[in-house]
Amino acid sequence: MMKGRRVAPMILEGLKRLEYRGYDSCGEATVHEGRLYVKKGVGEIDKVHAELRLDDLPGEIGVGHTRWATHGAPTKENAHPHTDCEGKIAVVHNGIIENFLELRKELEARGHIFKSKTDTEVVPHLIEEFMREGLGFVEAVIEAVRRLKGSFALAIIHTDFEGMVCVKMESPLVLGIGRDGIYVASDIPAFLPYTNVVVQLEDGDVAIIRPGGFEVLNFLTGKWVKRKPRVIDWTADMAQKEGYPHFMLKEIHEQPKCLRNTLRLDKRYLTMMADLLCSAQEAFMVACGTSYHACLAASYAMSKLAKKAVHPVIASEFIENYGAFVGPRSVLLAVSQSGETADTLEAVEHARRRGATILGITNVLGSKLTRVAKVYVCQQSGPEIGVAATKTYTAQLSVLSQLAILMAERRGKIGHVEAEELWKWIHALPDMAEEVIRATEKDVIKLADEHASVEKFAFVSSGVNLATALEGRLKLLEIAYAPSIATSRLDGILTDCLGDGSVAIFVFPSSGSARKELLDEAGMARDKGLKVIALAQEGDEEAKEVSDELLVLPVPPEMPEVLTPLPFILPLQMFAYYVSVKRGLNPDKPRNLAKSVTVK
């Protein structure tokens, strides 16, 4: 919102400064002389701008948005801003509104016409509804957000309101206080060239911005609050990373939030997937790299909980190994962060042509995988900019574990007490991840500093945590270029080959059938001159005895083993990151590795 200056060109520049995060569509809305002006389209900002001239909207108040689809494919209708029936209110939103379906039904029953498939569109209609009932704009916004469940950062304008109302709930939102205007953004880089005076809003805050300034009411407590401005000295590059030195570290720390998002998924689609997998004659999970490791871990959970074999297959091997007999009674669940990895899509295409049912788990709505899958689930991790996958891996683990539990329930393989217990653990994962990162990061930095110059590493674990060993090793290989192996058995030959001075990292869950063998091998490796680093759960005295260095995760020993890959991978991601940094490398841009992106 600017005094005496058209805002559309500034919003356009601000959106471009957030381009690094990835997006699939964009748009702007402004208010001028009691009218709302909206332009939006699909694709890169430059492309949309060339077609529509986003910067020529009139007015001193406006909002803009680049979208990373969470509900509804990337289309013009689904692009933000979203408006009410009368075209008086425009809303941009980041986050996920969990109860949008029920709100939408309620609003449609009251005659509201929806134009998009997004969760966001319920917001302008809900505000409109409260205004129809007689509330003023600000009061209607407050009533509307009280009805929302989920995460939301909202910026809302109205043709008859000289200003803007913004709301923050579990999604980031900051105000920028400039000399001739107030800026609002989900990320500081959007307005950093204009001001470095920022106000960080807190959950429940409703910021009411008017020409003279702003005031904040917290809708959770119903009280007016003061939020102090602070001056930041970040460069644009630092601001993009929210103060972290690399995107990878930022994304490692984002994992609790991303895990919370996986608890907000629409269970109907996961249940449909569970049913299709349960009734398949043969079922496969197909993926590459990190996503394959998530499938490998999930296959144990599906076997153990649901007693159903869902074969994890590296995508490039699928056609050779199973291509000849995959058919109409087969189900193939493709797991791909990008939804665009060539080998995965090739396996999918082959199976599809032979009549198999295709399911998908991806982070990119609108990707090829979402277009070919009969049922898909979006894991809602937001864009991952660091090339090495971190937050998308743990989100995949969470989604796949939920799927395994649903399969077990649908097949009647677990009773309600066990099911409740398992769901309790699933819901505990975000806080547990936060605690594991907080409690272990310092020790991991120390371990990485001490061992950064070690030449060879072995990652050892068995059962479901073989996936953890493989993923821990892949991270170290990808970003620190450390020759390393991952194995479920560190036998004498391997130990001899690795030789004196190498490091063996053992992942010891408190329970597990091969625990005794692993403990013996760790002891033996130590006797032969390898340095043994052990990762263990609380109270694990045995692991202490066989290791040189012990990293204890604040994870209760009674956690079901099939869910332990999630907490155990966190220190290993950090270990790879800090070894890479210590070696003077850039973990965000490893050699020989690029991320698949959606080509529009």
- Residue 463 CB, shortest distance to ligand F6R, in Å, is 22
Distance CA 450, CA 452 (A): 6
41 phi/psi in degrees, rounded to 5:
-165, 175
Q: Which of 299, 341, 402, 440 binds ligand F6R (CB under 6 A)?
A: 341
Counting residues that bind ligand F6R (by CB under 6 A) gives 14
Q: Which of 337, 381, 394, 440 binds ligand F6R (CB under 6 A)?
A: 337
Closer CB to ligand F6R, 97 or 388, in the complex: 388
Closer CB to ligand F6R, 156 or 347, in the complex: 347
Strand segments (E) across 180-325: 182-185, 197-200, 205-210, 213-218, 223-225, 230-231, 282-287, 310-314
Q: Which of 94, 120, 262, 290 binds ligand F6R (CB under 6 A)?
A: 290
What is the four-CA torsion angle of 287, 289, 295, 300, rounded to 10 degrees? 140
- Residue 389 CB, shortest distance to ligand F6R, in Å, is 4
Query: Contact at 8 Å (CB) between 394 and 337?
Result: no
Closer CB to ligand F6R, 278 or 476, in the complex: 476
- Give me 293's structure tokens: 């490791």
**Residues between 415 and 474 that touch ligand F6R (CB under 6 A):** 474
- Residue 474 CB, shortest distance to ligand F6R, in Å, is 6
Q: Is 255 in the site for ligand F6R (CB under 6 A)?
A: no
Closer CB to ligand F6R, 91 or 358, in the complex: 358
Q: Is 338 in the site for ligand F6R (CB under 6 A)?
A: yes
- Residue 572 CB, shortest distance to ligand F6R, in Å, is 12
Find the length of the chain.
Answer: 600
**Measured distance between the N- and C-terminal CA atoms of the chain, rounded to whole angstroms:** 32
Q: Is 59 in the site for ligand F6R (CB under 6 A)?
A: no
Say which amino acid occupies 58. P
What's the number of CA atoms in the CB half-sphere (13 Å) around residue 278? 20
Strands 375-378 and 457-460: unpaired
**Residues between 559 and 578 that touch ligand F6R (CB under 6 A):** none
| Region near ligand F6R per CB under 6 A, out of 55-63, 137-145, 336-344, 352-360 | 336-344
Q: Is 336 in the site for ligand F6R (CB under 6 A)?
A: yes
- Looking up tokens 């995760």 gives 553
Residue showing the smallest CB distance to ligand F6R in the complex: 289
| Region near ligand F6R per CB under 6 A, out of 43-51, 169-177, 214-222, 282-290 | 282-290
Beta bridge partners of 42: 25
Q: Which of 11, 138, 288, 576 binds ligand F6R (CB under 6 A)?
A: 288
**Which residues are CB-contacts of 245 (< 8 A; sequence separation ≥ 6)?**
581
Closer CB to ligand F6R, 368 or 531, in the complex: 368
Residue 550's closest CA among 539, 565, 566?
Answer: 539
| Region near ligand F6R per CB under 6 A, out of 52-60, 123-131, 285-293, 421-429 | 285-293
Q: Which of 289, 382, 463, 567 binds ligand F6R (CB under 6 A)?
A: 289
Q: Is 344 in the site for ligand F6R (CB under 6 A)?
A: yes
388 phi/psi in degrees, rounded to 5:
-75, 125
Distance CA 385, CA 19 (A): 11
Which value, in Å, is the radius of gyration of the alpha carbons in the chain?
25
Distance of CA 166 to the CA centre of its chain: 24
Query: Contact at 8 Å (CB) between 437 and 535?
Result: no
Query: Contact at 8 Å (CB) between 172 and 186?
Result: yes
Closer CB to ligand F6R, 72 or 289, in the complex: 289
**Residues between 378 and 397 that touch ligand F6R (CB under 6 A):** 388-389
**313 three-state secondary structure:** strand
Distance CA 28, CA 319 (A): 46
Instruction: Report which DSSP code applies to 463.
Output: G
- Give me 140's structure tokens: 């209607």
Closer CB to ligand F6R, 83 or 337, in the complex: 337
Q: Is 587 in the site for ligand F6R (CB under 6 A)?
A: no
| Region near ligand F6R per CB under 6 A, out of 24-32, 127-135, 157-165, 289-297 | 289-297
Closer CB to ligand F6R, 380 or 495, in the complex: 380
| Region near ligand F6R per CB under 6 A, out of 17-25, 110-118, 331-339, 506-514 | 331-339
What's the number of CA atoms in the CB half-sphere (13 Å) around residue 350? 20
Q: Which of 262, 394, 484, 596 binds ligand F6R (CB under 6 A)?
A: 596
- Residue 534 CB, shortest distance to ligand F6R, in Å, is 24
Residues near ligand F6R (CB under 6 A): 288-291, 336-338, 341, 344, 388-389, 474, 478, 596
